Structure 1
Amino acid sequence: MPTITSTPSELSVSFSVYEKVAGLVRDISVPWAAVAAVSVERDGMRAARGIRAPGLGVPGLRKVGTWRRREGGRMRRTVVSVRRGQPALRIELRGARWDEFLLGHEGARTVADTLASRGVTTESSPPTAIREHDVRFTSEGATLAGTVCRPDSPARAAVLLLPGSGPLDREGSHPRLQVDVSRQLAHALAARGVASLRYDKRGVGASPGDWRAAGVSDLVADARAARALLASQPGVDPARVVVLGHSEGALLAAAVAAGDTHLAGVVLLAGAARPGEEVLVQQAERLRDGLPAVLRAVMRLLRIDLVDRVRGNHRRLKATTADVARVNGARVNARWVREYMAHDPVEDIRRITAPVLAITGEKDLQVSSDDLDVVRSTAPAEVTVHRIPDLSHTLRRQPGTPSLRLYREEVRRPVDPEVVGIVTEWVVRHTAA
């Protein structure tokens, strides 16, 4: 299946090695000005017409390559990659080398809605208008600010969006890294008729306080208060609420869902399923192994082991009792670290009675995709897992050797359309009447 990504200036289509060899195609980028319209075909195989020139066609199963057909006295060229029974995105072009793309994609409708938000005309369904308004709520004495996002029509369901660790705002972004996961998911969900709530964590954005002083237990309490607020919003059916978390947010989502028999579903994106201390050590090991060879050699000569340093910091933080402590001269959220190291999300996952969707990328350096197997074997209800190739912790694709240094480049692109498509389709399906 081709990968569709975008930047502020262009739309890009990346093909797998098989597609490039079988269809004699290569990765393509076109400026947004060249994108004329988008439509969704229920079956891409049926929609691909003409003769291949060049390309590979397996009758009734697969078409990949360039297809040509005469229309209105001229020859139209279509770049095709479709398979039987799969929906496809038809992207019509103007002033480009090709006349259109016909690309099989499980999240075709969601991608079409995303393109519609950029002003591209969609023929399959008109874009849903999105309304947002700010809200404030309290949680154990703390005041939190957030945004309710909803479609212009009555919402069919609602999703609570929980971001990752650190000083993340309601959009799911860090001051130094605009990950923007929560905002993009909120808009994609609204395009499918689903409302959502996202909020600034304590001491971030419009929420007062000090984020370093908040422990895991505080964040769980905040998430529960937000879940109650969302369920009480006008037009929201409390029986159709889903809790979705990314990274640390997945830990919070599992804690909120544990023992809650009224949730319609739980979505865990890049969520760990092992004790926090083990996760932190594993992250240090991956960071050490990903350092440049020269730097690793210097550290060996100086007898510096990054993992040993991390374990030493853990011992020092365990010995503290303050909410905030100094480690190597820097102020650290000590209480959060102590509570996180002691927390085992498996204890919560085994108490989730709602259906679970879990997604982790194979290139995730902060969470092992092997944890998906733990979620699948632990959660007692229906579990759907997706281990996505080349997907990093930012929920973007990262071809080649994974590296934390590439995060800044990755977040210039939108969240992976396949992830967005899987999430929105799953939420719509599990909140149906």
Structure 2
Amino acid sequence: MARLAVNNGAVLVKLSRGEKIAGLLTDLTIPAAAVEDVLVLKDGFAGVTGMRAPGLALPGRVRIGTWRGSRGKTFAVVHQGRPAVQLTLKDQKYRRVVVEVKNVEDATRQVREAAGLDESAAPVLEDATFRSDGLNLAGTWTLPATGPVMGLALLLPGSGEVDRNSDHRRMPLGVTRDLAEALALEGIASFGYDKRGVGASEGSFLAAGFHHNYDDAAAALELVARRSPELPVFVVGHSEGAFHTTALAARHRERVAGVVLLSASAHSGRETSQWQVGQIAGALPAFPRLVLKLLRTDLAKQQRKSMVKLHASDQDVLRMQGRRMNARWMREFLQFDPLPFLKQLDMPVLAISGGKDLQVNPADLEIIADVVPGPVETKCIPDLTHLLRRDPRTPMLSDYKRQIRERTDAEVLATVASWMRTQVLATDLPSSKKQ
């Protein structure tokens, strides 16, 4: 097992001979000043994303070596299901170091002290599971390090094969993780979970429909509400998660004290998809646009053909354009309309979108402000993209890999956290609401 030590202003990561051979690694010496953050991971696998290059990976057992992703390289020595220490570094060969060591709490404390980090501000992570549709789904509570818990929040990520942090294996977005950390600083405990068939959750991602995702969110809301029935409960959704947030809050008005909608659409899935195609086609660089013109390829026409094939099938999984896709999810998503649910939200609502969103029309904020009957605040951040990152340039999907090297936008995080704290201080407890 790897060893982690602090000596003369440096963090030392010492490996066994077998670990060095298996992962083609050497011992690390890291200046303590280069450590930006230190976390204890209940399962070390959660910190290792991207592509292995090089190293040893035994499915469901071990990851030793270097993993490369859009956020940089990760130095990994972990076994699945075992706790590990995760270091986030700046100006080093590795962006992250994730190692399984003995006494992870002591090792974390020593590194934080050497790096001059405020140990008291680090949130406490607590794993939890819940049942939905006969499946065990796994997630993590992010709790304030000190002081009382003032409120509870359920965090729902966007579409795709993402985990409790909003991370896809090829696109570690981290939105729900960043939100959880920001809320913890305001005394709000939050819960995020792995989607079906992702991370530690059972089931099949490809076979799961849009309504399955809603059912899972509803089961997670039950878990959150049961933790401390006397505390107000909030639901925060990004992209697809905003659709589910809207429906959950409308159907459980007696339980939900407030709603946060990030990059949310006020139109049906079908209308939203059609809008996306127009935006993406217009945002293509000059050369791809020229190729499409020479090939006489009409993206909108291609989309219509795909929709015909999709609706002609009743399969959960369908092969389209050479790849397997979750057809059931797409059919149900296209039919979903959030507007009737928005009209039922009589609790406080905060909606934030970006002026450079290519996937959801930021003008939908005006519709949300108009139709929501409860107190509503909207905010459009001019350079914000659908990924909740800033981009001063012309927005393009090809820039997503560059954008995710940054954390979720600080203004978004601060706005959500301060708004929720204000609501916590002013909101009646759910138990006192009229049924």
Q: Normalization by structure 2: what TM-score?
A: 0.70
SS of equivalent residue, structure 2 residue 168: coil
Aligned equivalent of 1:218: 212
- The answer on whether the counterparts of 1:127 and 1:191 sit within 8 Å (CA) in structure 2 is no
Give the drift of 1:140. Answer: 1.6
Return the match for 1:384 from 362, 377, 382. 377
Unaligned runs of 5+ in 1: 1-31, 36-115
In the TM superposition, what whole-angstrom CA distance separates every residue of 1:108-160 from its partner, at most 9, and x where no partner exists? xxxxxxxx9996668xxx95342111111111212210001111332000110
In the TM superposition, what whole-angstrom CA distance separates every residue of 1:353-401 from its partner, at most 9, and x where no partner exists? 2110000000111111001011111111011000001001111100111
- The answer on whether the counterparts of 1:239 and 1:262 sit within 8 Å (CA) in structure 2 is no
Return the match for 2:191 from 197, 215, 220. 197
Return the match for 2:241 from 246, 249, 257. 249
**1:227-242 correspondence runs (5 A):** 227-233=221-227, 236-242=228-234
The 10-residue stretch of structure 1 (364-373 or 207-216) with the greater mean CA deviation from structure 2: 207-216
Inter-partner Cα distance in structure 2 for 1:118 and 1:157: 33
SS of equivalent residue, structure 1 residue 421: helix
Give the drift of 1:261. Answer: 2.3
Inter-partner Cα distance in structure 1 for 2:113 and 2:208: 36
Q: Is the alpha carbon distance of 1:239 and 1:364 closer, same or farther for their aligned partners in structure 2, counting shifts above 3 Å?
A: same
In the TM superposition, what whole-angstrom CA distance separates every residue of 1:5-59 from its partner, at most 9, and x where no partner exists? xxxxxxxxxxxxxxxxxxxxxxxxxxx9699xxxxxxxxxxxxxxxxxxxxxxxx
- The answer on whether the counterparts of 1:281 and 1:311 sit within 8 Å (CA) in structure 2 is no
Q: Is the alpha carbon distance of 1:238 and 1:393 closer, same or farther for their aligned partners in structure 2, counting shifts above 3 Å?
A: farther
Inter-partner Cα distance in structure 2 for 1:239 and 1:347: 28
Q: Is the alpha carbon distance of 1:395 and 1:118 closer, same or farther for their aligned partners in structure 2, counting shifts above 3 Å?
A: farther
In the TM superposition, what whole-angstrom CA distance separates every residue of 1:213-268 from its partner, at most 9, and x where no partner exists? 111111111111101101111xx345511000011010110011013222110000
Aligned equivalent of 2:386: 393
The AA in structure 1 aligned to 2:422 is R
Q: Is the alpha carbon distance of 1:168 and 1:117 closer, same or farther for their aligned partners in structure 2, counting shifts above 3 Å?
A: farther
Inter-partner Cα distance in structure 1 for 2:210 and 2:114: 38
The AA in structure 1 aligned to 2:313 is T
SS of equivalent residue, structure 1 residue 212: coil
**1:314-325 correspondence runs (5 A):** 314-325=307-318
Return the match for 1:371 from 356, 361, 364. 364
The AA in structure 1 aligned to 2:161 is P
Q: Is the alpha carbon distance of 1:295 and 1:121 closer, same or farther for their aligned partners in structure 2, counting shifts above 3 Å?
A: closer
Percentage identity across paired residues of the two chains: 43
The 10-residue stretch of structure 1 (253-262 or 162-171) with the greater mean CA deviation from structure 2: 253-262
Inter-partner Cα distance in structure 2 for 1:191 and 1:127: 10
- The answer on whether the counterparts of 2:156 and 2:242 sit within 8 Å (CA) in structure 1 is yes
Give the drift of 1:325. Answer: 1.2
**1:346-357 correspondence runs (5 A):** 346-357=339-350
Q: Is the alpha carbon distance of 1:212 and 1:118 closer, same or farther for their aligned partners in structure 2, counting shifts above 3 Å?
A: farther
Inter-partner Cα distance in structure 2 for 1:336 and 1:238: 35
Q: Is the alpha carbon distance of 1:360 and 1:120 closer, same or farther for their aligned partners in structure 2, counting shifts above 3 Å?
A: farther
Unaligned runs of 5+ in 2: 1-31, 36-111, 427-435
- The answer on whether the counterparts of 1:167 and 1:201 sit within 8 Å (CA) in structure 2 is yes
- The answer on whether the counterparts of 1:161 and 1:245 sit within 8 Å (CA) in structure 2 is yes
Q: Is the alpha carbon distance of 1:379 and 1:332 closer, same or farther for their aligned partners in structure 2, counting shifts above 3 Å?
A: same
Q: Is the alpha carbon distance of 1:280 and 1:119 closer, same or farther for their aligned partners in structure 2, counting shifts above 3 Å?
A: farther
The 10-residue stretch of structure 1 (253-262 or 340-349) with the greater mean CA deviation from structure 2: 253-262
Inter-partner Cα distance in structure 1 for 2:348 and 2:236: 12
Aligned equivalent of 2:155: 161
SS of equivalent residue, structure 1 residue 213: coil
- The answer on whether the counterparts of 1:132 and 1:150 sit within 8 Å (CA) in structure 2 is yes
- The answer on whether the counterparts of 2:152 and 2:231 sit within 8 Å (CA) in structure 1 is no
Aligned equivalent of 2:396: 403
**1:221-370 correspondence runs (5 A):** 221-233=215-227, 236-259=228-251, 260-370=253-363
Q: Normalization by structure 1: what TM-score?
A: 0.70
2:172 counterpart of 1:178: yes
Inter-partner Cα distance in structure 2 for 1:218 and 1:33: 46
Inter-partner Cα distance in structure 2 for 1:117 and 1:292: 48
Inter-partner Cα distance in structure 2 for 1:255 and 1:316: 28
- The answer on whether the counterparts of 1:239 and 1:264 sit within 8 Å (CA) in structure 2 is no
Aligned positions, number: 319
Q: Is the alpha carbon distance of 1:187 and 1:261 closer, same or farther for their aligned partners in structure 2, counting shifts above 3 Å?
A: same
The AA in structure 2 aligned to 1:258 is A
Q: Is the alpha carbon distance of 1:184 and 1:287 closer, same or farther for their aligned partners in structure 2, counting shifts above 3 Å?
A: same
Inter-partner Cα distance in structure 2 for 1:309 and 1:180: 32
- The answer on whether the counterparts of 2:33 and 2:115 sit within 8 Å (CA) in structure 1 is no
Give the drift of 1:301. Answer: 2.3
The AA in structure 2 aligned to 1:423 is V
- The answer on whether the counterparts of 1:261 and 1:353 sit within 8 Å (CA) in structure 2 is no
Aligned equivalent of 1:110: none
- The answer on whether the counterparts of 1:349 and 1:375 sit within 8 Å (CA) in structure 2 is yes
Aligned equivalent of 2:3: none
Inter-partner Cα distance in structure 1 for 2:312 and 2:255: 39
Inter-partner Cα distance in structure 1 for 2:257 and 2:160: 28
Inter-partner Cα distance in structure 2 for 1:163 and 1:218: 14
SS of equivalent residue, structure 2 residue 313: coil
Inter-partner Cα distance in structure 2 for 1:306 and 1:117: 55
Aligned equivalent of 1:38: none
The AA in structure 2 aligned to 1:182 is T
Inter-partner Cα distance in structure 2 for 1:243 and 1:210: 25
